[in-house]
Amino acid sequence: VPVRIFPDSELASAQVARELADFIRERAAAGRMAVLGLATGSSPTRVYEELVRLHQQEGLSFQNVVSFNLDEYYPMAPDSLQSYVRFMHEYLFDHVDIRPENIHIPDGTVLPEQVADYCRDYEAQIVAAGGIDWQLLGIGRTGHIGFNEPGSGAGSRTRLITLDHITRTDAASDFYGEENVPRRALTMGVGTILEARHVVLLAWGEGKAAVVKRLVEGEPTDTVPATYLQHHPAVQVVLDEAAAAELS
């Protein structure tokens, strides 16, 4: 897997944001939409801040952007503090000119009996948009991408999953205690993610160094779903020095 190591996450995020902005502008110049797959969590926040700055100060428009978020807790009300709907609006959507109808985030309020149809429809909307051009990812300490926890298959699609214990521990502070973290989530599948034409995975800090080593140097295995990215033809792993510390 191609790896790019930056002195710190701020420089790395600014570079990723510039490359994403160039892609959005190229598409706009060609009169085409840019279909982005977006992640939440701490890893992409500085990329979103830089995209907002590029919009406000350098005229970057999101009028031609269609977005699909990776995942959402289940169940989850969109107006909850911890919802990924709220997260995306706070960090990006409320500050740029993306058209509301072009935003897609898995709906944590869908009824249990409608989840299967809902997930099929989410996949169909990605296909109808022309597929994801540019997928931004983080990586969990379990090796998850999206919320595809260990055991997820390479061909898995958008579905309801059970969160790993480690993932719920890592989310505990956001929910004021692990007992409040939802046990399940909706997530795009590994197969959905692998179909994106270009994938950029961000990882910062020493807490990610061990899983980054497994991603970059380990055998592909469903116990570390991120290793499936090793087969992707256009993936980049973007690291700060701390996250790269265990690479040989």
Residue 50 annotated among the catalytic residues of the structure: no
Closest CA to 203 of 171, 226, 224: 226
Pair of tokens at residue 229: 């990215």
Is the C-alpha dihedral spanning 48, 50, 51, 52 positive or negative? positive
Q: How many CA atoms lie within 13 A of 110 on its CB side?
A: 23
The nearest distance, CB 38 to ligand F6R, in angstroms, is 8
d(CA 29, CA 232): 28
The nearest distance, CB 200 to ligand F6R, in angstroms, is 12
The single residue of 149, 178, 179, 219 carrying the catalytic annotation is 149
Position 226 contacts ligand F6R (CB under 6 A): no
Within residues 114-143, the interface with ligand F6R by CB under 6 A covers 138-140
Is the C-alpha dihedral spanning 61, 57, 70, 98 positive or negative? negative
Give bridge partners of residue 147 from the DSSP assignment.
none
d(CA 137, CA 121): 22
d(CA 205, CA 211): 11
Binding-site member from 46, 144, 159, 232 for ligand F6R (CB under 6 A): 144
Within residues 31-60, the interface with ligand F6R by CB under 6 A covers 39-43
Position 243 contacts ligand F6R (CB under 6 A): no
Binding-site member from 17, 54, 70, 110 for ligand F6R (CB under 6 A): 70
Residue nearest to ligand F6R (CB): 138
The nearest distance, CB 25 to ligand F6R, in angstroms, is 25
The catalytic site residues sit at: 149
Interface residues toward ligand F6R, by CB under 6 A: 39-43, 70-71, 138-140, 144-147
